[in-house]
Amino acid sequence: MKRRMKMGKKVNKDVVLCRTTNHRVSNRTTDLLVQDAIPFTKNWKHVPFFRREEYHGASEVCVISINRNTYARARRTLDRMERRDRDRLVMNVI
């Protein structure tokens, strides 16, 4: 009887690349990822009233997630962004 190969728990899992509350920055970020053919998901999440102080009063936050295997390529892509846009992103380090 042959055993099946087991994949690691962290293989092919999505990770959060960055967060932002600015609509223009989120659009520019996704445009760069599309240009470099990096698959991603973009979700707008509601921020509860009592946690809005953390996000400087914003009522929603954009969360961009990517596959763990393309993380390094996506970070290199976002390094090409303009400084003012990059300052408005909260990058996650894995």
Please report the pLDDT score of residue 66 as a whole number: 94
Please report the pLDDT score of residue 78 as a whole number: 92
Give the global pTM: 0.81
CA distance 51 to 93: 22
Q: How many CA atoms lie within 13 A of 84 on its CB side?
A: 2
How many other CB atoms sit within 10 Å of the CB of residue 26?
22
Range 14-91: architecture per CATH: 2-Layer Sandwich (3.30)
Closest CA to 31 of 69, 68, 85: 85
Per-residue pLDDT of the chain (94 residues; tens, 9 = 90+): 567 766 666 666 889 999 999 999 999 999 999 999 999 999 999 999 988 888 888 899 999 999 988 999 999 999 999 999 999 999 888 7
Element (H, E) at 77: helix 71-78
Domain segments of the chain as ranges? 14-91
